[in-house]
Amino acid sequence: MERPESKIRIINATLDLLSRSGLSGVAINQVVAASAAPKGSIYHFFPGGKLELASVALKEAEQGEGQWFRGFFQQRESIARKVESLLTSAANQLEEIGFM
């Protein structure tokens, strides 16, 4: 089933905002502004509000990020080296996006 373009924009905007500020730093009005979707669309697609939206967005991210995460643990390295690589990569990504 194909998702409407506005729903995809809302999910992507939410992921971007979550990556910068975390859940407590994201408000529905910010998602409206970032996605250029009407506020009513957010509640149409996500009647549970912010928590439902965040949950759906994070599940979406898991599909892509989960593969990134699994890639570290498929390496032929010690577990300590795998965890170190994972945390270093995550820290670098957070620094690049200016996570607050």
**Would you call 78 helix, strand, or coil by DSSP?**
coil
Q: With contact defined as beta carbons under 8 Å apart, do 10 and 89 qualify?
A: no
* pTM exceeding the 0.85 threshold for the entire prediction: no
What's the structural domain count of the chain?
A: 1
The per-residue pLDDT of the chain, averaged, comes to: 89
As a whole-number percent, the residues of the chain with pLDDT over 70 amount to 96
Q: Structural domain of residue 93, as residue ranges?
A: 5-97
CATH number at 9 reads: 1.10.357.10
CA distances (Å), origin 27, targets 9, 46, 88: 16, 14, 29
Which tens digit of pLDDT belongs to each residue from 39-71?
A: 999 999 999 999 999 999 999 888 877 888 888
Q: With contact defined as beta carbons under 8 Å apart, do 54 and 14 qualify?
A: yes
